[in-house]
Amino acid sequence: MLPALREVAEAYQGAMGLGTLRDRDEITALFGGFEFLEPGLVEPFDWRPELDPAEQEPGDEIAGLGLCGVARKAG
């Protein structure tokens, strides 16, 4: 994790008392044995490709700050 990002996380946790930074592998592990639905584990803005690009593109200040995914029980 980038040192600057860790500093931001520590400041947020100090002010808000919550939040945990996780990398892609750590987030994937939270889904256990579930299988991801398309488009998988992606940035939130990638979940709505049908939106106009002006509505879809995040500003530089929030790009890469989160991931989301939906999964279902395999089988």
Backbone angles phi, psi at 34, to 5 degrees: -80, 150
Residue 2 lies in a domain: no
In a domain, 60, yes or no: yes
Q: Please compute, for residue 2, the number of CA atoms within 13 A of its CA located in the half-sphere on the CB side.
A: 5
The tens digit of pLDDT for each residue in 29-45 reads 999 989 999 999 998 77
* Inside any domain, residue 62: yes
| pTM, entire model | 0.65
44 is a domain residue: yes
pLDDT of residue 57: 58
pLDDT tens digit sequence for 11-22: 888 888 777 888
Domain count, the chain: 1
Domain annotation covers residue 3? no
Q: Which domain holds residue 36?
A: 22-73
